[in-house]
Structure 1
Amino acid sequence: MKKTITFLLLVFTIVSHSQSIDYKSATTLKGSNYYEIVNQVREELGAYNKNASKTEIKKHKQFERWAYFWKDRVDVDGNFPNAFTGWYNSGIIDAKGRVNQNLNASKLNNTNSKTSNSGQSWSNIGPQEVPDANGYPNNPQLGRLTNFLRYEHATDANQNVLFVSAPVGGVWKSTNNGTTWTPKLDFLAGIGVTDIKSSSTDINNPGIIYISTGDYDAKHINSIGVYKSTDFGETYQPTDLTFSLEDKEITSNLIVIDANTVIVGTNKYIKKTTNGGTTWTNVFAHNYDDAVLGKFHRNGNNIMCSDSWGGLFFSSNNGTTWSTLISEGNDTARHAITTDETGVFYVQNDNGQVSTYNPAAATPALANLGVLATGYSTQGSYNQCLAVKNGLIVSGVVDGINSDDSGNTWYVTLNNSWSDNTSEGSYGHADIHEIGTLDSGYSFWNVNDGGLNFVTYSNIADEKPTVEYKSNGVIVTQLYSVAITPETSTDNIIMGNQDNDGYSLEMVGGTPTWVTAGAGDGTCTAIDYSNPQIRYLGAQNGALTRADNGFLGDVWGTSLTTPTAGAPFVWTLKMHSTIPTTLYGGFADVYKSTNKGDTWSNLNSGAGKIEYIETFGDNLFVIGETAVKKSSNDGASWSSVNQPEASAKMNSISLDQNNTNTLYATVNGYIDGSKVFKSIDGGSNWTNISDGLPNIITKQVVLKQNQGQEILFLGTELGVYFKTGTDNWAKLGEGLPNVVVNDIEINYTQDKLVVGTYGRGLWEISVSNNTLGVDEVQVSTVDAPSVYPNPVNEGVLNIKINNSSNHFNYKMYNVIGGLVKNGKLNSGVNTLDVSNVATGIYVVRMTDGNTVSTQKIIIK
C-alpha cells in the first residue's frame, strides 16, 4: 500500500479506515485542516457509547484527547501551528528549538511581577500520592509515564536511583528506590519526554543521561530534540539535534551505546551521533517524510527498528548501516520489539501476531510464533510494548497479556478492569507504554497511563503476579477541571483528570484525605458551597455523578440522567453563584437543572455545542461552536455577543457581576498582541488589553469580583499571569512549572488562587490585594466596623459603624465570589436579614471610598 502524504488522500484514508491511519500525524502534513479531520473521524467513530467494548471506548478517548489538545491552538480556519510556538514566543526556546541557557526554573518567571518581587510562591496542594482507593478495585493513579531508568546500589536496594519520564511533567528522580521523588525538568514540564537512557548504570559512575523530548506515543507534543545530562540527571542541556518550529518533528526512544554514541529515530531518518551529540548523521532515510521511525531495541551490535507504517529495519553493526526486513506492513502500524537471552528478536504487530528473527541463523528471516494474541488492542500503537524472559512473553497494550507456551495461548495478567480476586490477572493500570526486565526470576517493570509498576511473576505459569506501584510522589496528573469549597485547609477540593477519574479531598478520621471518585475521564467538577458534602464529577460526553454525602464510601456517587446526545467529550458544568441547587451544563446546547442535576431543561441559546459557561446571579454567558450568547434573565431569552477578534474565536469569558456590561474574554490561536479583550457595553464592542503578554495560548480569564479596582487572572499554556488596573500583564508568582493551566478558581474566603494544570497537578498561591500590589488603606482599628454575631445563628447580622461621620457601602459574597447582599451602612447599628442566605463562609467588604475593611463571617 503506497504511503500517502497529501491531505485529500489523508481524508480518504480517515473515512475508509479511520483507525488504520495516524490522525495525530496530520499536524505535520501540509494542508491538514483540524475541523475537517475532527468531523471526519467523529463521523467514522460514531456516537460515543459508554457500554461499548474497551477497545471502542479507547478509540474515542484517544481521538478526543488529541482534539482537545489542539482546539485552542489551531487558527480560526483550522490550520495547525507548531505546538511549540508559545515556547518560542515567550523566549524559552530559540528558533532552532534550543532552550535559552540563561533561563532556569526560577528565572522563567517574569521578574517584573509584583507577586514575584514580594516573594510569593506557588505551592502544590496535591495529591502527592495516589488517593485512597475508596473501594475502587481498579483505582486511578497519578498519571502517565513514558519510560524508566534505574541505577542499582551494590548492597542496598533502598538506595537505588530511579528516573522516570512523562509526556507532560518532565523528568523525575528518586534516590531511595521510589520512596520519594523530585522533579528535575519543571522549566520544560510542558514539553514531553519520550525516553530517558544512560551510558552507564553504575551508581558510582553514572555516565551521561540522554532524553528524547516530545510525546512519541500520543503525538500531542512534538520534539525539540535530544538533550543530555552530565550531572546525574540534575540539569539538562541540548545536543546538536534540535528542531525549529517549522520542523514539527517527532523523536523516538533512544539507543545509548556509550557516553558518545546515541541513536534516535525521527519522522524520516534514523540519526546517530558518535561524539556525544555535537554532530548527528543520517544513517537511514525512509521513503516517506512522516514514517515516524522507532521504536528501537538493541542486543549486542544488533538493533531493530520499526516505523509507524508497519516497516521493520535491522542493523548488525550498532546502527551504522541498515537493511529492510519489512518495507511496509499490511496493518500499517508499528511493531513492538524485544529480544530474549540468546539474542533472538521478538516482534509483535498491531494485530497481535508475534514473530521471531534470529540474526545468528544461516539465513535470518521473520517467522510467525504461535497465534494472534487475544485481547490485543494498541489503540493505533498508542500503547505497544513487549518483553521476553526465560520463555515468558509479556505484551503491553491496553491490558498486560502474556504467554508461557510460545504464543499459542494468551492470558490477561495485568487487568485494568480488575474487580476482585475472581477477575483475570492482577490490577494493572490501562495503557502500558514500555516494559523491561528487572532482576532474577520473572520480574519486570512497566510504565503506563497511571505510573510505574514493578511486576513479579512467581513462576512462568503465574497469572496473578505481584504488582508494586513505584511512582507515588511523581505528580504528573493532567487536570481538566477543579472545584473548591470555603476552606483551603480542610475538605475543600474535587478535581477531574484525564484518564485518571477524579480525586476528592474529604475528611477521613479528622484528617483531610484525597479519595478516589470514579469517572473514567473526569471532565468537569462542582461543589455545593452551602453543603460541601454535595459534589459533582462529570465524565466524558456529558456523563455526570453526584455524591450527596461526599464520595468517601461512595466512589461512583449517584449516576444522573443528563442530555448526553451531542455533548462534547470534555464538557463544562457550572453552578449558580448564589443558588447551589441550580446547575448549568454544556451539552449540545446549554441546559439548566434546578434540582441538583436530577432533571434538565434546554435553555435553547442557539449557540451550538457548548464549550464554555460563565454565570453570576441570573446573568448567563455561553460560548458555543457557532455563536456566543448572553442572557440577563437566567436563560429565558438570549442575545448575541460579538467576537472580540475577527481572526480568532473566543474560548473563555468573565464578567463583572456588579456591572454586567463589563466583560473580559480570551481568544484562541497565535495572533500576536490579541489575547485578552474587554467590553464595557455587554459585548458589542471590545478593546484589546493584551499588553505585556507574549504570543502564547490563553485558556481562561477570571475577574476577581467585588474589589475596589480591576484585578484579572489569566491561565495560559505557560502558567498564570495577572493584571491590576491599568498595569500591563505580569507573570504571577514563582515556582509554578511551565505547563498548561486548564482551570482557575478564586477562593474568596481564603484569598487564594487555585489552578489545575495539565501534567503537574493542582497548585495555589495567595492573591490578597496587598500581595498583588493593590494599594488599599485599611480602616483604622478605632473606626473599623463591628460585625456580630459571628457565627450568625438566628438569621440576623449586625454591623456597627463606630464613627458617626462615616458611611460605608458593603458587599457580601461567598467562596466563589457570588454576591448575596450589598447596600449602604449608616452610622450606628445596621441590622441585615441573612435568613435566606445559604449556610457557609462569606466575606463582607466595606468601604467608605477611601478606606477598606474586609471581614469573614459564618452563617449557620
Structure 2
Amino acid sequence: MKKFYILILCLCSSVVFAQTLDYKKASTKEGSNYFDIVNEVRNEITLKKSTTDFTKADIKAEKQFERWAYYWKDRVDADGNFPNELLGYYNAGLINADGSLNLQNMEARSSQSQQQWMNVGPQTVPDANGYPNFPQMGRLTNFMRFTKVPASDNVLFVSAPNGGIWKSTDNGDTWAPKLDFIAGIGVTDMRSASSDANNPGTIYVSTGDYDADHIKSIGVLKSTDFGETYQSTGLTFSLADRESTSNLIVINDNTVVVGTNQHIKKTTDGGATWTNVYTHPYNDAQIGKFHSHGTNIMCADSWGGLMFSSDSGTTWSVIKSEGNSFERHSVTADAATGIFYVQAKSGQISTYNPGAMSPSLTTLGDPTTNYNPQGAYNMALVVKDGLIISGGVDAINSEDNGSVWYTTLNNAWVDNSSAGSYGHADIHEMGYLDSGYSFWAVNDGGLIYVTYPTKSEEKPQVDYISNSVLITQLYSVAISPQSEDHKIMGNQDNDGYSLEMKDGTLKWVAALAGDGTSTAIDYTNPSIRYLGAQNGALIRTDSGFANNYDGDVDVNTPSTGAPFVWTLKMNSTTPTTLYGGFAEVYKTTNKGDTWSNLNSGAGQIEYIETFGNNLFVIGANGGRKSTNDGTSWSTLTEPEALARMNSVSFNQTNPNTVYATVRGYVDGSKVFKSTDGGLTWANISAGLPNILAKQVVLKQNQSEEILFLGTELGVYYKVGTDNWLPLGQDLPNVIINDLEINYTVDKLIAGTYGRGLWEISINNSTLGVDEVELDDSTAPSIYPNPVSSGELHIKLNSATPELDYVMYNVVGGIVKQGTLVSGDNKLDVTNVSSGVYVVRMTNGKYVSTQKVILK
C-alpha cells in the first residue's frame, strides 16, 4: 500500500491534526524541509481556525506542533535541512559514532572554574496558591518499583525525556539523578524482570523520547548495579540511523524484547547480540506500546497495525494490518484473565483473547468519551476486574465494559463538583500498583499513585510521588534585586513558578500560564511581575502572585502573529518600559496597558536585548539595532553565511561591541564578535565543540571582557582572549534556554530544559580575571548605607588613586557613572529608584566592588 506523507496543504480542515506523527517523522525523510513544513502546517492551522470551531483537542494539537517547531528551530541549517537530533552529543564526545556511551569522556568536563552549580528549585511541588489544577515538576515517561520490607524502604525509579533517570531508596520521599552525564538524551523506558529490591536483577533502559519523538534513541543501555551506573548493550544506533526504541519487555536478566523503526528485536544473551524477530514492511513503523501476559506479547505500529507473539517474542503474527491513518494503538492485558485490551486513536476499545479457539479483535462498548491522545503523544491503558482506565489528556474510566465513560483524572479540575479527581494532563503510561484498585501513572507533571476504594468510585485518591524529581523544562527566568531568592520562571506544560513571600515565608508558588514562555520582574518593586503564555498571552500582578495565581491583569498584548515561545524584555533602567516580541517588536511604557509598534523591520521577533536606549532584536528577517529606543533602526549583518543568529548581547557602554550566536552545526562557528556595531564580525568560537549555541551573555561593567554561553550541553565561559571553557562543576548535560546575571550577588542563573533552575557564583576571582581588589586600607568608604537621604558619599583616602565608577542594578543597567577623586565625593541619587545596587570602582588594574541599598 502506498503511503502519503503530509506537508501537502490539506484542503479539508477536519483532518488538520490527524497527521500528528507525520511531521515528527519529517526529520528522518530525505528531502524534508523544516521551513516548508512549518509554513504548511501553520497555514492548515490558520485555515481551520477560520472555518470551523477550534476545539480543545485542536489547541492541544497545535501546541504539540509548535513545541516540535521550537525544538528544531535552532537545529536546522540555513536551508531548512534536518541534522540528527543526537549530533551534539557525538560532537561533544559523549557518545561514539555507533551510538554507544563514551564512558571515558563522562567525567572529562574540564574547567578552571571550580565553583559548584547549585539547583535552586523548586525542590518540591510549588504551593498550589489557590490554583485548582496547579503545575507540578515535569514530564515523566515511565516508572518502576522494587519492593522491600518495610515498604518505606521500597526502591523506585522514574525516567524523563530530558531529565534522565531518577532513583529513590525511601519509597519516594527523596530522589537522586542517575544519568546526569547524558540527561538530555532522553529515556523512554526502564525495566527489570524482578521487582524485589533484595534481588533486583539487570535493569535495561530504552533511550530517546518515543512519545514526543523529539530525541532519537542511542539504543538500549543496561545496569547491573541496581541503577547506579549504565553501559551500552549491543543494540546501539549511529547518527545516520535516526532510530526510535520503544518500551521494553524484560523476560529475564538475559532476555529482552524491544521495538525499533522497522524491527522487533530480541536478545537472549544480556544484550550482547540482538536478533530481528519481526521485520515490518515499512521502515518508519515505530513499533512499540508492548504489553505482555505470560508468554503472550502484543504491540502496535504507528500505522494502525497490531502484532502478537505467543512464545515470548520469538515469532510474530499480524492480527491487524497497517492502515493509512497515522494511528497507533495503546495496548494492555488484564492480569487475571490474560485478555488483551487495545484502544484505537478514535477511543474505541477492542479485546483479543489468546485463549479463544479462533482469537480475533472484538469491539467492546462505545468509544471513550472525550478521548484525546494528541496523535500518539499520550496513550495509556490499564484494566483490572472489568475496570478500564484509558489515559490520554485525561484519564477516563468505565466499569461496564465501555458502555458509560467517566472522566476520573481531570486536568481541568476546579473543585469537588468537578468530574473526577485532579490529575495533571497528558498521561504517558499506567500500571498496577498494590492490591485492590490501586494504580500508578506518569504524566506531564510527574508520577502519581491512584487508588479507588471500590471499582465504582469515580473520584480516586491521588498521591503525588515524584515531589523532588527535578526535571522541570524551563523556557524563561527573571530575577529581583530585593533578595537573590526572588525569582520567577516559565515552564513547558507546568505554567509558572514564582518565588516570593507568602504567609510570612519565602516559597515557590504556582502561577497561571499553561506553557510559561516569558517572564519579568520589576527590579524596583518585586511585587510587580509578568508571566507570559504561548503565542503572546501575558498576565501581570502588581501585588505578587502569592494568593493571586492568575495575577491582577490579563495584559492586552498585540499578540497576533506572536511566536509560540515569545520574548519579553524589561528596559534596564526604566522598569515600566517593556519590549515584546510579537509579529514585530512592540514597546509599552505603562506596564503593558498600551503598546506601540516600533517597526524594526525584523519581522516576527525571536530575541530581544536592551540596555538603556540601546535595543537589539532578532526576527524572521534577521537582526536589527536601535540606539534611540526604537525611533530608528539599522540592520545587523549575519555573522555566518551558513547559519542565522539566534541570540545577541552587547556592551552597554559601547554598543558598537556586539556578540552573537548562530544556529545549527557549522563546526567552529558558534559565537561572533563585532566592534563596528554589527557590520563585520570576528569568529570567537575557539574551544567550543560543535554543539548548539543557544544564548551569549556579556558580563557588563567589567574591566575585562567576560562572556557566558548557554548551549545544548551546559554553560561555557570566556575571559578576554582565552578560549571557551565549561563553567563550573556538577551541571547536568541539558539544554540551557535562558541565562541571567544577578549583579547584586554576582551569580549566573541558568534555566535548563529538563533539569530545572541552577545558579553559580561568577565572582571575577573565580573566573581567573586579572585584577587586584583594593584592601581595607585603600578601598573607598561608602556611606550612609542604606541611603535614605538621596545623597550617597564615596570617600577615597590619599593613598587611593583616582577611580572611575559605575553604579548599576540587578540586571546590570547603569544608573550613574563618573569619576571619583581623592577625598569625599557626593553623589545625588534622588532620582534613582529604591533597591539594591552595585558600585564598581576601578582604574583598570585596581578595583573595589561594593553593594549599596537605596531606600
TM-score, structure 1 as length reference: 0.97
Indicate the residue corresponding to 1:518 in structure 2: 512
Of residues 819, 828, 850 in structure 2, which corresponds to 1:833? 828
Of residues 99, 102, 111 in structure 2, which corresponds to 1:100? 102
Instruction: Please state whether the residue corresponding to 1:816 is helix, strand or coil.
Output: coil
Q: Does 1:10 align with 2:6?
A: yes
Q: Is the 8 A contact 1:3 1:288 kept in 2?
A: no
Q: Does 1:194 align with 2:194?
A: no
Instruction: Please state whether the residue corresponding to 2:288 is helix, strand or coil.
Output: coil
Instruction: Please state whether the residue corresponding to 2:493 is helix, strand or coil.
Output: coil
Indicate the residue corresponding to 1:476 in structure 2: 471
In the aligned structure 2, how far is the partner of 1:644 from the partner of 1:799? 43
Q: Does 1:125 align with 2:120?
A: yes
Question: Structure 2: which amino acid aligns with 1:200?
Answer: S
Indicate the residue corresponding to 1:20 in structure 2: 18
Q: Is the 8 A contact 2:647 2:661 kept in 1?
A: yes
Indicate the residue corresponding to 1:679 in structure 2: 674
Cα deviation digits, residues 83-109 of structure 1 (max 9, x gap): 1111111111110011112133xx242
What pairs up with 1:502-541 in 2 under 5 angstroms? 502-541=496-535
Cα deviation digits, residues 727-765 of structure 1 (max 9, x gap): 000000010000000000001010000000000000000
In the aligned structure 2, how far is the partner of 1:807 from the partner of 1:315? 84
Pairwise CA distance, 1:327: 1.2
Pairwise CA distance, 1:781: 2.1
Cα deviation digits, residues 413-448 of structure 1 (max 9, x gap): 000000000000000000000010111111110000
Indicate the residue corresponding to 2:612 in structure 1: 617
Indicate the residue corresponding to 2:397 in structure 1: 402
- Flag structure 2 segments of 5+ consecutive residues without an equivalent: none
Pairwise CA distance, 1:800: 1.1
Of residues 345, 352, 356 in structure 1, which corresponds to 2:351? 356
Moved more, 793-802 or 659-668: 793-802
Indicate the residue corresponding to 1:383 in structure 2: 378
Q: Is the 8 A contact 2:305 2:320 kept in 1?
A: yes
Question: Structure 2: which amino acid aligns with 1:483?
Answer: A
Q: Does 1:433 align with 2:428?
A: yes
Cα deviation digits, residues 443-491 of structure 1 (max 9, x gap): 110000000010011111111000000000001000000000125553x
Q: Does 1:706 align with 2:701?
A: yes
Indicate the residue corresponding to 1:369 in structure 2: 364
Question: Structure 1: which amino acid aligns with 2:82?
Answer: F
Pairwise CA distance, 1:20: 2.6
Of residues 333, 354, 378 in structure 2, which corresponds to 1:339? 333
Pairwise CA distance, 1:509: 3.7
In the aligned structure 2, how far is the partner of 1:732 from the partner of 1:503? 26
Q: Is the 8 A contact 2:484 2:742 kept in 1?
A: no
Indicate the residue corresponding to 1:549 in structure 2: 543
Indicate the residue corresponding to 2:198 in structure 1: 204
Question: Structure 2: which amino acid aligns with 1:37?
Answer: I
What pairs up with 1:261-280 in 2 under 5 angstroms? 261-280=255-274
Indicate the residue corresponding to 2:765 in structure 1: 770
In the aligned structure 2, how far is the partner of 1:2 from the partner of 1:217? 25
Instruction: Please state whether the residue corresponding to 1:11 is helix, strand or coil.
Output: coil
Question: Structure 1: which amino acid aligns with 2:764?
Answer: N
Instruction: Please state whether the residue corresponding to 1:114 is helix, strand or coil.
Output: coil
Q: Is the 8 A contact 1:518 1:555 kept in 2?
A: yes
Cα deviation digits, residues 635-681 of structure 1 (max 9, x gap): 01111110000000000000000111000000000000000000000
Indicate the residue corresponding to 1:454 in structure 2: 449
Pairwise CA distance, 1:383: 0.2
Q: Is the 8 A contact 1:442 1:459 kept in 2?
A: yes
Of residues 754, 758, 762 in structure 1, which corresponds to 2:753? 758
In the aligned structure 2, how far is the partner of 1:445 from the partner of 1:466? 11
What pairs up with 1:60-71 in 2 under 5 angstroms? 60-71=62-73
Pairwise CA distance, 1:199: 1.8
Pairwise CA distance, 1:152: 1.1
What pairs up with 1:609-758 in 2 under 5 angstroms? 609-758=604-753
Q: Does 1:214 align with 2:208?
A: yes
Q: Is the 8 A contact 2:482 2:835 kept in 1?
A: no
Change (3 A) 1:39 1:15: farther
Cα deviation digits, residues 211-235 of structure 1 (max 9, x gap): 1000000001000000000000111
In the aligned structure 2, how far is the partner of 1:762 from the partner of 1:12? 40
Q: Is the 8 A contact 2:7 2:41 kept in 1?
A: no
Pairwise CA distance, 1:14: 6.3
In the aligned structure 2, how far is the partner of 1:135 from the partner of 1:849? 52
Instruction: Please state whether the residue corresponding to 1:263 is helix, strand or coil.
Output: strand
Question: Structure 2: which amino acid aligns with 1:39?
Answer: N
Indicate the residue corresponding to 1:91 in structure 2: 93
Pairwise CA distance, 1:19: 2.4
What pairs up with 1:114-263 in 2 under 5 angstroms? 114-115=112-113, 119-153=114-148, 155-263=149-257
Indicate the residue corresponding to 2:80 in structure 1: 78
In the aligned structure 2, how far is the partner of 1:15 from the partner of 1:162? 49
In the aligned structure 1, how far is the partner of 2:292 from the partner of 2:310? 10
TM-score, structure 2 as length reference: 0.98
Question: Structure 2: which amino acid aligns with 1:163?
Answer: F
CA-based RMSD:
1.4
How many equivalent pairs are there? 847
In the aligned structure 2, how far is the partner of 1:762 from the partner of 1:238? 30
In the aligned structure 2, how far is the partner of 1:15 from the partner of 1:344? 42
Pairwise CA distance, 1:183: 0.6
Moved more, 743-752 or 10-19: 10-19
Q: Is the 8 A contact 2:349 2:363 kept in 1?
A: yes
Instruction: Please state whether the residue corresponding to 1:771 is helix, strand or coil.
Output: helix
Question: Structure 2: which amino acid aligns with 1:517?
Answer: A
In the aligned structure 1, how far is the partner of 2:819 from the partner of 2:9? 67
Indicate the residue corresponding to 1:575 in structure 2: 570
Q: Is the 8 A contact 1:804 1:828 kept in 2?
A: no
Instruction: Please state whether the residue corresponding to 2:62 is helix, strand or coil.
Output: helix
* Identity score, percent: 66
Question: Structure 2: which amino acid aligns with 1:552?
Answer: A
Question: Structure 2: which amino acid aligns with 1:114?
Answer: Q
Instruction: Please state whether the residue corresponding to 1:41 is helix, strand or coil.
Output: helix
Q: Does 1:320 align with 2:314?
A: yes
Pairwise CA distance, 1:44: 1.1
Instruction: Please state whether the residue corresponding to 2:850 is helix, strand or coil.
Output: strand
Question: Structure 2: which amino acid aligns with 1:195?
Answer: D
Change (3 A) 1:454 1:15: farther
Cα deviation digits, residues 169-190 of structure 1 (max 9, x gap): 0010111111111111111110
In the aligned structure 1, how far is the partner of 2:108 from the partner of 2:363? 53
